[in-house]
Amino acid sequence: MKKFIFILTIIYILTGCNKKACKNVIGPPSGNSLKVLLIGIDGCRTDAFRAANTPHFDSLAASGIRCWYVDRGPYTVSVPGWSTILHGVFPAKHGLIKNSFEGNHYAQYPDVFTIAKKVHPDWQLFSLTNWDGFMKVTSNDTYCESFSNDAAVAAKAVEVLNKDNPDILLLHFDETDAAGHSSGFSPTNREYIKTIENIDEYAGSIFTAIQHREQVAAEKWLIIVCTDHGGEGTSHGDQDDIPQTRFVFFIVNGPGIPAFDKTSAANTDLLPTMLKYLNISVDSSAGLDGVALY
């Protein structure tokens, strides 16, 4: 048994994190009215996203910033991809080039929760996912939980929005990536497209809950829809330079943010955009690789 614990300890030290779930004390509302919702769709190709029937995402895109040519950086798998989005730097800085957290430079390039918590210790930071690894990309979560399907992630998100007071809510949906691996990352694969349409339907319920909060609590929500990589065939690893894998999309919508088409951008622009919206300043010594989108 001692040997087992020793091995676990070594794994923890090597990987830098072993978070399974976190349920810390959920306090009263922070008083902050500016909020962020990030909807992450794992492995969602741009052409498939645009081909899918997604009325809720379409209306978000029509009144926000949309970019259909976003560089997600090299090492086209999930851990580097979500690390780039939530830590605001490419793999050359965060140090992750495969689906492992070993050797990360998270301490030097902290995630959005860690940055926010430093300035606002009372903020409530939620991460809900359908893939355990997603919880390990952030630290300082108030609450994080992994579910076995996308519908359960969405149901919990609605519950959180109705009962709790999140300042930042990260949602990660994984069934699009799973469908890509099982039957093909392609706009012509009905099974793959259906997962995107399901997430749009979930987003409808989530947006209704947000609109209710905006009306009764005078909150103002920034909403981001993004992905960590695309794919080709039934794969995406080692496809660093294939456009359909490396170049992705995002939508950024919030009060005071103009609606326009951005011709090119990078996933590293999302963290500076969130921080600008939240009035959290970071100086150039932070070494972020992106810039705010507005």
**Sites of contact with Zn ion (CB under 5 A):** 42-43, 78, 177, 228
Other residues' Cβ atoms within 10 Å of the Cβ of residue 32:
18
Distance of closest approach, residue 29 Cβ to Zn ion, in angstroms = 33
Distance of closest approach, residue 121 Cβ to Zn ion, in angstroms = 31
Distance of closest approach, residue 59 Cβ to Zn ion, in angstroms = 26
Distance of closest approach, residue 245 Cβ to Zn ion, in angstroms = 10
Buried-state track 156-183, b at ≥16 Cβ within 10 A, e below 16: bbeebbeeebbbbbbbbbbbbbbbbbee
Q: Measure the CA–CA gap between 62 and 59, rounded to whole angstroms.
A: 5
Tokens 């009325």 locate to: 55
**Which residues, 6 or more positions from 57, have their beta carbon under 8 angstroms from its beta carbon?**
49, 200, 203, 225, 251
Considering the complex, state which of residue 137 and residue 157 has its C-beta at the smaller distance from Zn ion.
137
**Which residues, 6 or more positions from 286, have their beta carbon under 8 angstroms from its beta carbon?**
88, 109
Q: Measure the CA–CA gap between 128 and 143, rounded to whole angstroms.
A: 8
CB 35 within 8 A of CB 166: yes
Considering the complex, state which of residue 43 and residue 272 has its C-beta at the smaller distance from Zn ion.
43
Considering the complex, state which of residue 72 and residue 213 has its C-beta at the smaller distance from Zn ion.
72
Considering the complex, state which of residue 78 and residue 142 has its C-beta at the smaller distance from Zn ion.
78
Distance of closest approach, residue 155 Cβ to Zn ion, in angstroms = 22
Q: Measure the CA–CA gap between 229 and 249, rounded to whole angstroms.
A: 9
- Of the candidates 182, 169, 166, the one whose C-alpha atom is nearest the C-alpha of residue 233 is 182
Considering the complex, state which of residue 78 and residue 129 has its C-beta at the smaller distance from Zn ion.
78
Considering the complex, state which of residue 83 and residue 124 has its C-beta at the smaller distance from Zn ion.
83
For the packed helices 150-163 and 190-217, what is the interaxial angle rounded to 10 degrees? 0
Residue of minimal Cβ distance to Zn ion? 78
Distance of closest approach, residue 83 Cβ to Zn ion, in angstroms = 11
